[in-house]
């Protein structure tokens, strides 16, 4: 009787789950070879100075040209790379590549800035300091032109340790930015404690500016609070003139978004920079 029951039992497959699982394991094993096969690429999105409407730097954004799955955005693989430890090698490659590109650009535009996203796993592994130090020296880059971006939610993972490590990085003279600000739970007291220099307002608030009166209250409040703490403020995801005008009126310092440009190849950035009129000489070097 028991035997018969056993034989009648069957497995129910959840097909979407299975496909997702297979996708994940494929991506996971492909991550092993992606670096050595040179499948990663950085694209660069301009960071605009809102006072002058000029490009003051770029943010390096990672892309993976997967041989079967095509062009992949970080949303599909960064979290997995963090879980498997691949993020360490990838993160090192990103920093080295972005700083080499910055070195090339600074020959023509000496004050140009580079923003690089770093995962909290990279930060906590404690290699980051050594990598930044050696690459800054290798390419003779002024530390103040490298901005490291860490997301607000990940900063909160191990606040005390993160705080210490950020302090060390700050001693190198690097600029530290909190990315996706407003999506985590930072309180004023955390912000006062953390040795950061910049806040990047998450694009969900910017996207809502036209339609939501709450966002029209929150965004100026974030800007005012950040400025009271001596931080510079960047708005992410600026897509239209309404948003740009609103942000400028509320003294937001910098902006990024499709209104200006999506992330593009380095040659396109060079074209955009070459089109900009030369900077007024009177502005002193920061």
Binding site for ligand C2E (CB under 6 A): 45, 61-62, 73-75, 78, 94, 117-119, 149, 151, 179-180, 203, 236-239, 256-258, 263
Is residue 152 at the binding interface for Mg ion, with CB under 5 A as the rule?
Answer: no
CB of 117 to ligand C2E, least distance (A): 4
CB of 37 to Mg ion, least distance (A): 26
> Of residues 166-185, which lie at the interface with Mg ion (CB under 5 A)?
179-180
Helices marked H in the chain = 2-8, 15-34, 78-84, 87-108, 120-125, 128-138, 152-155, 159-171, 188-193, 203-207, 213-228, 241-249, 266-275
Which option in Mg ion, ligand C2E, none does residue 152 bind, with CB closer than 5 to 8 A by kind?
Answer: none
Interface map 90-129 toward Mg ion (x if CB under 5 A): ---------------------------x------------
User: Quick count: other Cβ atoms within 10 Å of Cβ 194?
Assistant: 21
Could you give the CA distance from residue 39 to residue 225 in angstroms, rounded to a whole number? 41
Q: Calculate the CA dihedral of residues 210, 211, 217, 219 and round it to 10 degrees.
A: -50
CB of 251 to ligand C2E, least distance (A): 20
Could you give the CA distance from residue 23 to residue 65 in angstroms, rounded to a whole number? 15
CB of 106 to ligand C2E, least distance (A): 20
Could you give the CA distance from residue 261 to residue 238 in angstroms, rounded to a whole number? 10
Nearer to Mg ion, 30 or 180 (CB): 180
Nearer to ligand C2E, 18 or 204 (CB): 204
Near Mg ion by CB under 5 A, which window of 26-34, 71-79, 91-99, 230-238?
Answer: 230-238
CB of 2 to ligand C2E, least distance (A): 53
Burial of 246 (0-12, 13-18, 19+ CB in 10 A): buried
142: alpha, beta or left, given left = phi > 0 and alpha = psi -120 to 50?
A: beta
List interacting residues with Mg ion (CB under 5 A): 117, 149, 179-180, 236
């Amino acid at each position: 009787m028991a035997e018969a029951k056993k034989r009648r039992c069957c497995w129910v497959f959840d097909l979407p789950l299975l496909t997702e699982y297979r996708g994940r394991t494929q991506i996971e094993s492909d991550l092993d070879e992606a670096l050595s096969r040179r499948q990663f690429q950085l694209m660069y999105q301009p960071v605009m100075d809102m006072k002058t409407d000029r490009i003051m730097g770029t943010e390096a954004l990672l892309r993976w040209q997967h041989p079967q799955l095509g062009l992949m955005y970080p949303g599909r693989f960064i979290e997995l790379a963090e879980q498997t430890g691949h993020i360490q090698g990838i993160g090192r490659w990103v920093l080295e590549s972005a700083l080499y590109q910055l070195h090339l650009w600074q020959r023509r535009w000496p004050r140009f800035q580079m923003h690089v996203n770093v995962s909290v796993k990279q930060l906590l592994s404690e290699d980051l300091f050594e990598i930044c130090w050696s690459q800054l020296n290798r390419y003779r880059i002024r530390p103040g032109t490298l901005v490291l971006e860490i997301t607000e939610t990940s900063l909160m993972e191990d606040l005390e340790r993160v705080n210490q490590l950020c302090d060390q990085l700050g001693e190198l003279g690097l600029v530290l930015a909190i990315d996706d600000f407003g999506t985590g739970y930072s309180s004023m007291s955390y912000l006062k404690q953390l040795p950061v220099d910049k806040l990047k307002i998450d694009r969900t608030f910017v996207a809502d500016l036209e339609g939501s009166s709450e966002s029209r209250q929150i965004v100026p409040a974030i800007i005012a609070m950040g400025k009271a703490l001596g931080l510079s403020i960047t708005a992410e995801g600026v897509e239209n003139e309404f948003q740009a005008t609103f942000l400028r009126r509320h003294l937001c310092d910098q902006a990024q978004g499709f209104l200006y440009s999506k992330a593009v190849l380095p040659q396109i950035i060079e074209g955009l920079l070459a089109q900009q009129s030369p900077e007024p000489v009177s502005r002193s070097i920061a």
